[in-house]
Amino acid sequence: MTLLKNDRFLRALLKQPVDVTPVWMMRQAGRYLPEYRASRARAGDFMSLMQNPQFACEVTLQPLDRYPLDAAILFSDILTIPDAMGQGLYFETGEGPRFRKVISSAADIDALPIPDPEQDLGYVMDAVRTIRSALNGRVPLIGFSGSPWTLATYMVEGGSSKDFRKSKALLYDNPQAMHRLLDKLAQAVTAYLNGQIRAGAQAVQIFDTWGGNLSSAAYQEFSLAYMQKIVSGLLREHEGRRVPVILFTKNGGLWLESMADTGAEALGLDWSCDIGQARARVGDRVALQGNMDPTVLYAKPAAIRSEVGRILASYGAGSGHVFNLGHGITPEVDPAHAGAFIEAVHELSGQYH
């Protein structure tokens, strides 16, 4: 087992002392980087990039070669699980992800298999092993999955959706069928994340991108309850270390207290929350990750630095903060601005530790 040279990300998630606030960015391996676009062009398309462990490793490491980030995140997609369940994932240019098969009945749900991580998603496990080996202890590796509710929306809608018409109709018309789908997905996500942990992921994040589109009652029953099941079923120790879990519900600021009750080590915050108020609400129960508006990166470096300073001051003194964006970095951001952001976090945060 290689010793971690920089473990401040893992330490912050466990609320242990750190020298400066750790930082990484959602979608840090992505289209804003010219080197990523070059790799994607060589791979041919997104699916070929994601399903080739060497390419996945190459693009995972690109942002780390450019910036002093405190964590690497596996290069993959949240829709690998529905694809392995036989839904047939493909990407339309300008349209985003689509599925060849769509869930439209209880029979469709009953027919879904629960994928075996090594057999059905072996390319992801191989990518994790390849990246862990290439990192050689530089920084920790984050594994991830979509939440059951978020995956279910794509499977029922056949792709992304503005109003979630079909998935919400199923939820209200036939809650039993929706629960069966979510239960299968929770089993699949648990196995998938445990597979990633065994392959070398040192922390995992559950992306509940669309949980915030539910009513409060529906969120608790159809999203949070299934994330709770996953957290309860995860390997929490591996290679002699705690494996922290981060829950991130976009637009989930109303439910932080309930999210903190799941047993996850950390909650991801989008930019609509004030991080200081969030900290006051959850107390010492969880670490917080976030939460700068990604579009701040379009502003000049001085403005980026000022916003970083404001968020650090809002969180205040002590460990338990992982700096991140409130959602993924966008493709049009100037890479130099991302660099200014990361530099500002490290430079300005020392005074709080």
Residue 27 designated active-site: yes
29 is an annotated ligand-binding site residue: yes
Q: Is 77 annotated as a binding residue?
A: yes
Determine which one of 7, 70, 77, 126 is catalytic.
77
* 219 annotated among ligand-binding-site residues: no
Check whether 30 is labelled as a binding-site residue.
yes
Q: Helix 301-315 and helix 335-349: axis angle, to 10°?
A: 40
**Vertex 57, ends 54 and 58: CA angle to 5°?**
85
Task: Say whether 28 counts as a known binding-site residue.
Answer: yes
Closest CA to 40 of 79, 86, 91, 81: 91
Of 32, 154, 192, 219, which is the active-site residue? Answer: 154
- The CA distance from 105 to 336, in Å, is 49
Which one from 8, 27, 132, 305 is the annotated catalytic residue? Answer: 27
Catalytic residue, from 8, 40, 98, 138: name it: 40
Residue 238 assigned ligand-binding role? no
Active site residue 285: no
Residue 154 falls in the annotated catalytic set: yes
Contact 84, 125 (CB under 8 A): no
Rounded CA separation 194/169 (Å): 32
154 marked ligand binding residue: yes
CA 178 to chain CA centroid, Å, is 23
**Residue 52: cis peptide before it, omega within 30 degrees of 0:** no
In contact, 250 and 270? CB cutoff 8 Å: yes
Active site residue ranges? 27, 31, 40, 77, 154
Binding residues for substrate: 27-31, 77, 154, 209, 327
Binding residues: 27-31, 77, 154, 209, 327
